[in-house]
Amino acid sequence: MMARDMEDMVGFLRSLSRKRGVAPSQLAKDVGVSHATMSRWLAGKDTPSPKSCARLADYGGVSTEYVLALARHLPLLQTAGTSEWPEFREYARLKYPDLLDDDLIIMVEDLIERRRRKREGGQSP
């Protein structure tokens, strides 16, 4: 794994710990891994499994695809729309935590996608 890839996952884990206000040991407990495992992740010596990525995504309020991509289980998608959703979701949850729930975020994503298709000349469902 390349150093830059690890920095992305390490940065995500550190950010998640800060946002939740928990120590790495508590983060490990909350996502169901050992403290030693979390320490390896934070040191960039190992990456979360796909199952752990799903738990981290749920705990962090981001899409599973986003965390899987950070762990390099999935490529970072470059197609229009797909790669933007995890970032949009994370932004919306951070910027408006009390105003936007998952249903509203999905609705906004759908509207953005419909506008994108309309601009590209495609049909909107």
Q: Is the pTM of this model over 0.75?
A: no
Can you tell me the distance from the alpha carbon of 53 to that of 93, in angstroms, rounded to the nearest whole number?
18
List, for residues 95-110, the tens digit of each pLDDT value: 777 777 777 777 877 7
User: H/E element holding 24?
Assistant: helix 24-31
Query: Is 4 in a helix, a strand, or coil?
Result: helix
Q: Which two tokens stand for residue 77?
A: 């998608």
Q: Say which CATH class 3-70 falls into.
A: mainly alpha
Burial of 71 (0-12, 13-18, 19+ CB in 10 A): buried
List, for residues 34-89, the tens digit of each pLDDT value: 999 999 999 999 999 999 999 999 898 888 888 888 888 876 554 334 444 456 67
CATH 1.10.260.40 location in the chain: 3-70
